[in-house]
A and B are shown apart, each in its own frame.
Chain A
């Protein structure tokens, strides 16, 4: 079955610290992978996506993610977190069914 697991429900970091949000997926075919961010009271905005090619993808706001097929993972990283990064982050997987399956989300809190 297709699924996405985000093992961390809530993460707290200090401003300026590095960040890694974990995402593991289960998908029977070649996956298309996405990270979205939801700021309070807002809809979801795409941070980055992976379809093929270079397994390290760059996104907006200084985020990057690395696709590791052997580990079925697509972890999101940022070298230095800003207070404005506080939000909820969702990993999603899609494929030839044209539907996205979302993880349960990770809420990021940033302390000054």
Chain B
């Protein structure tokens, strides 16, 4: 089983619909992240969480919200999806740079298409 699991892997939805992307991890990491990948733009940070009570906006948080239900679960919601939110979304976990590791562990991605 994967250490970082994202569901669904693929979703097609319509403009205005609410969508939730879920992420769970078995690595025991405190830190969890949601990134968005678009061709030519690389990965951009949407939200990140350092523990259950610590949630922070990234560089492109508008139109998104998150919930850290437990240490192992971090969900990303699109309250009213729009076509320019069509992208590949990645969840990642990490122990943090302060622990001198710095590595992020990525899920396999959730491809979202908004029609």
Residues of chain A having any CB pair with chain B under 8 Å: 6, 9, 32, 34, 36, 41-46, 49, 51, 90, 94-96, 98-105
- Sampled A-B contacts (22; CB under 8 Å): A32-B102, A34-B102, A42-B109, A44-B106, A45-B106, A46-B103, A46-B104, A49-B102, A51-B100, A51-B102, A96-B98, A98-B31, A98-B94, A98-B96, A98-B98, A99-B33, A99-B45, A100-B102, A102-B35, A102-B43, A102-B44, A103-B42
A43-B4, A51-B102 known; A32 vs B42 contact (CB < 8 Å): no
Contact-size category for B:
20 to 34
Find B109's partner among A36, A43, A100 (CB 8 Å cutoff): A43
B15 to chain A, nearest CB (A): 26
Cβ-closest 6 pairs across A and B: A43-B106, A104-B42, A102-B43, A44-B106, A102-B42, A43-B108
Nearest A residue to B4 by beta-carbon distance? A43
B6 to chain A, nearest CB (A): 9
A26 to chain B, nearest CB (A): 15
Instruction: Find chain B residues with CB under 8 A from A101 CB.
Output: 45
Tell me the interface secondary structure of chain B in the complex: strand
B90 to chain A, nearest CB (A): 6
Would you call B64 an interface residue if the criterion is a C-beta within 8 Å of the partner chain's C-beta atoms?
Answer: no
Residues of chain B having any CB pair with chain A under 8 Å: 4, 31, 33, 35, 40-45, 48, 50, 58, 90, 92, 94, 96-98, 100, 102-104, 106-109
A96 to chain B, nearest CB (A): 7
Whether the Cβ atoms of A100 and B42 lie closer than 8 Å is no
A36 to B33 CA separation, bound complex (whole angstroms): 16
A51 to B92 CA separation, bound complex (whole angstroms): 20
B10 to chain A, nearest CB (A): 11
Instruction: Find chain A residues with CB under 8 A from B104 CB.
Output: 44, 46, 100
Whether the Cβ atoms of A9 and B43 lie closer than 8 Å is no
Instruction: Find chain A residues with CB under 8 A from B45 CB.
Output: 99-101
Instruction: Find chain B residues with CB under 8 A from A41 CB.
Output: 108
